[in-house]
């Protein structure tokens, strides 16, 4: 028995040696699995998941962008019309090939009208009445919301660390923020109590600076949304205090650890984009995490200040240094695809348009404004079927042909009855008698006091009884 125990212990010792040698090899493997399981940070390198609703929106914007270039050329010409031959030559600046401009114009008959000049007998192009009305509607909407544009510009300057931005950068993004083309004079110089325009000595660039930061304006749009949801839905204050609306695109894979990471990131406190952070120590890991979330809040507020809640990534990059945004903006935004969406459609992948996901539903703005509706009116004209325009032309031509046939018949009768004065007198007398009869009928109808209410069944029976008696 003792011998058997000794032999078994030796065998167990001999089998445990290779096992101990194996356990010494993979501490790195165990450490890596431990890090993967306990990691709660949002992955940085993520693939972009397409959302076809936003991509289709940008496909329409691609057509609108080209149409607007033609409109600008037409409005700069005398009488807002241009010969087709010259338009083809100017369209080559936009990237069009030879004879391609004419084909493009014919695709949108509700925006452009091609006609033959009555004197020169050559083809001209001009804007339709509907397109001119759309342009006028957009101008009126732009002027009506000018006080709101002043507030947006003040908040945009307050997002900067120094309270100033380059004038050229604001001019490039003026349409996104609802500013007119001459905003330097109609907005900046018109309100000296809010803005200051000066030239930098070192770079010789013009800058816009906010005169005084208003604490009433230093409230982000996401903070208002949080307060509204907290009052309506309730919930724990800690979960709602630093919360962002997250709506992932369809097909986005969300794992268990990703949900945990998003939950922890939502509870992470951060500094407001309007807050001055120059006095904080930003070297710690916690401060860096807060700065990353502050960058998300800054881009969120920047998109909320735009008219259509979208702006190109290249124009956001102009404000990167002034607002402490990360260098790799595209990768940073892809890390938060539930808040933002980047579309590469619209300009052959050269431009990246950033959308605020919570502001859109089914490709339309949830809370539209007058300027947005006026701009979408151009999209409706672009998308309107050319068949309807052809049908309208056919109806107009049909009416004209009917009028021409009547005129030709009258002329034919006059020619046939040219020497016969008796027939002419007879027709004139008949016409006079007809007019007199019409006048007599009108007088009778006006003077008579007969109404439908007096014509009752009792009167009819009385008359019948008198006749029978």
pLDDT in tens, 233-288: 877 777 788 999 999 888 888 888 888 889 999 999 999 999 988 888 888 888 99
Long-range contacts of 47-52 (CB under 8 A, 24+ apart): 47/334, 48/334, 48/337, 48/342, 49/248, 49/249, 49/250, 49/251, 49/252, 49/337, 50/249, 50/251, 51/249, 51/250, 51/341, 51/343
Q: CB atoms < 10 A from the CB of 86, how many?
A: 14
Q: What is the mean pLDDT of residues 104-116?
A: 91
pLDDT in tens, 338-395: 999 999 887 666 789 999 999 998 888 999 999 999 999 999 999 987 766 555 545 4
Strand order of the β-sheet with 310-312 is: 310-312, 353-356, 340-343
CATH class, 143-215 region: mainly alpha
Q: Say what the pLDDT of residue 119 is.
A: 84
Q: Which of the four pLDDT bands, split at 50, 70 and 90, describes residue 458?
A: very low
pLDDT in tens, 184-194: 999 999 999 99
High-pLDDT (> 70) share of the chain, %? 73
Instruction: Return residue ranges of the chain for CATH 1.10.10.
Output: 56-131, 143-215
Is the pLDDT reported for residue 178 higher than 90?
Answer: yes
Q: Say what the pLDDT of residue 408 is.
A: 53
Distance CA 155, CA 176 (A): 14
Q: Say what the pLDDT of residue 400 is.
A: 45
The CA-to-CA distance between both ends of the chain, in Å, stands at 149
Residue 151 or 411, more confident: 151
Beta carbons of 117 and 128 less than 8 angstroms apart: no
Determine phi and psi for 354, rounding to 5 degrees: -100, 125
Beta carbons of 206 and 199 less than 8 angstroms apart: yes
Q: For tokens 């019309």, what's the residue? A: 81
Strand-pair partners of 83: 124
Beta carbons of 244 and 206 less than 8 angstroms apart: no
Residue 233 or 162, more confident: 162
Residue 456 or 207, more confident: 207
Q: What is the mean pLDDT of residues 442-465?
A: 39
Q: Say what the pLDDT of residue 16 is.
A: 43
Q: Worst-scoring range by mean pLDDT, 155-169, 271-285, 445-459?
A: 445-459
Average pLDDT, the chain: 78
Q: CB atoms < 10 A from the CB of 108, how many?
A: 20
CATH number given to 56-131: 1.10.10
Residue positions counted in the chain: 469
Q: Say what the pLDDT of residue 252 is.
A: 86
Q: What's the angle, vertex CA 412, arms to CA 408 and CA 416, rounded to 5?
A: 175
If DSSP codes are grouped into helix, strand and coil, which group holds residue 339?
coil
């Amino acid at each position: 028995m003792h011998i058997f125990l000794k032999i078994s212990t030796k065998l167990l010792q001999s089998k445990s040696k290779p096992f101990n040698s194996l356990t010494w090899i993979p501490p790195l493997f165990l450490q890596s699995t431990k890090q993967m399981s306990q990691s709660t940070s949002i992955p940085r390198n993520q693939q972009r998941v397409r959302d076809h609703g936003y991509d289709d929106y940008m496909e329409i914007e691609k057509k609108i962008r080209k149409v607007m270039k033609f409109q600008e050329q037409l409005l700069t010409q005398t009488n807002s019309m241009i010969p087709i031959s010259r338009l083809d030559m100017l369209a080559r600046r936009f990237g069009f090939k030879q004879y391609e401009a004419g084909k493009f114009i014919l695709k949108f008959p509700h925006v452009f009208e091609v006609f033959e000049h009555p004197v020169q007998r050559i083809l001209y192009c001009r804007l339709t009445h509907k397109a001119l009305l759309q342009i006028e509607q957009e101008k009126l909407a732009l002027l009506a919301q000018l006080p709101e544009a002043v507030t947006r510009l003040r908040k945009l300057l307050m997002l900067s660390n120094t309270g100033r931005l380059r004038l050229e950068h604001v001019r490039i993004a003026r349409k996104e923020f609802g500013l007119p083309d001459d905003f330097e004079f109609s907005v900046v110089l018109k309100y000296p109590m809010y803005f200051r325009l000066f030239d930098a000595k070192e770079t010789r660039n013009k800058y816009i600076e906010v005169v005084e930061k208003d604490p009433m304006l230093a409230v982000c749009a996401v903070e208002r949304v949080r307060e509204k949801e907290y009052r309506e839905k309730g919930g724990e204050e800690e979960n709602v205090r630093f919360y962002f609306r997250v709506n992932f695109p369809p097909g986005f894979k969300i794992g268990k650890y990703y949900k945990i990471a998003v939950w922890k990131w939502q509870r992470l406190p951060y500094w407001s984009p309007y807050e001055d952070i120059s006095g904080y120590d930003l070297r710690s890991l916690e401060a860096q995490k807060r700065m990353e979330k502050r960058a998300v809040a800054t881009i969120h507020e920047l998109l909320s200040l735009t008219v259509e809640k979208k702006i190109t990534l290249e124009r956001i990059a102009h404000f990167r240094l002034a607002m402490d945004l990360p260098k790799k903006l595209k990768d940073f935004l892809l890390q938060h695809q539930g808040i933002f969406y980047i579309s590469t459609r619209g300009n052959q992948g050269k431009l990246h348009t950033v959308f605020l996901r919570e502001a859109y539903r089914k490709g339309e703005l949830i809370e539209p404004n007058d300027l947005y509706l006026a701009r979408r009116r151009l999209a409706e004209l672009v998308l309107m079927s050319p068949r309807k325009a052809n049908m309208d032309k056919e109806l107009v031509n049909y009416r004209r042909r009917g009028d021409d046939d009547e005129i030709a018949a009258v002329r034919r009768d006059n020619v046939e009855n040219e020497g016969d004065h008796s027939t002419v007198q007879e027709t004139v007398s008949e016409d006079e008698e007809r007019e007199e009869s019409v006048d007599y009928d009108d007088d009778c109808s006006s003077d008579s006091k007969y109404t439908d209410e007096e014509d009752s069944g009792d009167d009819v029976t009385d008359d019948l009884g008198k006749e029978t008696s």
